[in-house]
Chains A and B, each alone.
Chain A
């Protein structure tokens, strides 16, 4: 492999000045005879150390956080004069930079299947993606021409939806495939909106072709000709890179009519959502794609039967589609239990995006990989699953992260947002934050969610202002159950979860807000 600098210019590093550093690198390389090139790539992982620069072929990873742009330019030019091999780049260490050892747990405990090419390839270059192995599974699938076999592999892998609900992916595909009719639709739900979640953004910004290939394979398996990616407008870079990737894949013949010389046609359209959280709910998402007000409708009928424009529709999350090429490449055996991508944030020493084998313990992710709480602090809880999820207390950190263990703890895997909370956190405050989010994002169609979340937040604020009584706590709990039981869609049904889960694991935080005399009674 020729020498190459890989600089992360995805959202997080970009916000820390990566594009300016990129310009300096380019200037330094302009006069280089050795033809070293600098490549813009997606997320390299430990975002809190960004902007990050990787150097090929040695795979050294540098944090450029404290590096001045012009210093970088000078020192890079000097290093290149010594040569881009052992004498130059191998020793190169611009002042202020810090090298991250490949043995750091954040890096070496990962198993990157979905993100395998993220941070490696230039997301704007199809040639680069092809060289790294993109678009190899689709032609194989087309050649074998056996859609049920593809679905069978997905079913046997045990892959479950990575969007939050964890529905078996193979079953969903088989249902859509079995629907009558020659016109079907595949939709990618890229409306990631949970506070603290940026896994889908990472894949779209870092390696859009994996998503497109996964969608194309899914479309072939279920018999769809039309695809939509529903992506939120808050992700301008992801949108830009998806647009570029879609048009490049069309030009190359991986999307469009008669793909790979076969009779299979599949087109993908981008739909940019205006930033309504509820539009991640699949029936609301369908309405929004159709150009209507994004509100959920009762299910059944499920989208598999009656989806976009009334056609049978397969809806999967970004990461679910992202798993497909890796699964087909490895086969069911080697794929094993698969992986889960998490975005680790909050009171933790190292935050970022990581992909670990399914079933890795929370402690491994939060303490070993993330470095645990800031100096002098203890971890109190880990919030998973966003506004639809709950808090895992520090005492349960040894639980494996999988669908069923988290459910037993009263939370969900969700899409993979993981917010670490240390002992300075008041859990009632956290509950109020998430209820406020759900109140703000309620579509207003059904009464329990529209009005219930407002009353829940009012009760929590009352407690936080120390105006609450024991009766308010009882009222809070009862109203949580009503909103959860009676709401129309998943957003309302799970909105009280952060409250119920904090009540379950951190009741003391609530009781501490009540008048002492009342609690003793």
Chain B
């Protein structure tokens, strides 16, 4: 196994070739915020929170998809990156209707935690209050588009892990929306296996168990990771 050495902030590291900067940083105990990234799913580099600076380059790189290379000098927490992270969180809050007080995920929400982490106590940009709907057609689960941040974890887990491909993204740009089936109500999509993986990996209160009331939803991404480990290593009894 080939190894390369690099420096992240003030840590010197040696990691196997092919390791991403995010993996390398996590191994070294360096925290880089992420939202669309979830271990066990393919990385899409869409949320832009894990951007890092590389010395000698003006271009920012997404840590989740950038491979570590010999001699890299990486910075994960610069003023430029902090401004981007705060702005990204603000943009997310302004494009949806995130009313934490009445949300099923209040207190266990990755978006809420990130807002606290980046110091976003208010948005400098105006809230847009879009008209969005709620889909309660499924027997067990609900989808509240007002809380969806289009991280596409549900799309990927359903396609890549469950193999059902119930979810996808419809329309473009600001009109993007998560759709089930061919834009049908979730409850009418025969492909859905009711496995609930999408609900477990959703970082906000957008996908939820119908029995959850405010503050009661807890995401369980670790269940996905346990399943992926079991599948990869054929170890079904942890």
Contact = CB atoms under 8 A, between A and B. Distances in A.
Interface of A: 276, 278, 293, 297-298, 439-448, 450-455, 458, 475, 478-479, 482, 485-488
Interface string B162-179: 000000110111111000
Given A298-B45, A487-B48, 4 more contacts: A441-B172, A444-B173, A482-B88, A485-B60
A208 B65 CA distance: 39
Nearest to B171: A444
Contacts, number: 92
A429 B26 CA distance: 46
A485 B150 contact: no
Going nearest first, the 10 A-B pairs with the smallest beta carbon separation are A444-B176, A442-B173, A451-B91, A298-B45, A451-B95, A482-B87, A486-B48, A444-B173, A298-B65, A486-B84
Contact of A444 (B47, B60, B65, B150): B150
9 contacts: A297-B44, A442-B172, A443-B173, A444-B172, A452-B91, A454-B128, A475-B125, A486-B88, A488-B48
Given A443-B172, A475-B125, A450 B95 contact: yes
Interface string B40-51: 000011111001
B46 A479 contact: no
B46 A488 contact: yes
Contact of A455 (B83, B91, B173, B176): B91
A116 to B, nearest CB: 38
Contact of A451 (B83, B94, B168): B94
A489 to B, nearest CB: 10
Interface of B: 44-48, 51, 60, 62, 65, 80, 83-84, 87-88, 91-92, 94-95, 124-126, 128, 149-150, 168-169, 171-176
A441 B168 CA distance: 19
A475 B92 CA distance: 17
B174 A444 contact: yes
Give the most central of B48, B168, B173: most A CB within 10 Å.
B173
Contacts of A486: 48, 51, 60, 84, 87-88
A440 B51 CA distance: 25
A485 B59 CA distance: 7
Contacts of B45: 297-298, 446, 488
Nearest to B150: A444
A446 B48 contact: yes
Nearest to A441: B173
Contact of B84 (A298, A442, A455, A482): A482
Contacts of B175: 444
B80 A485 contact: yes
A450 B152 CA distance: 14
Contacts of A478: 83, 87
Given A293-B168, A485-B80, A447 B88 contact: yes
A479 B60 CA distance: 16
Nearest to B65: A298
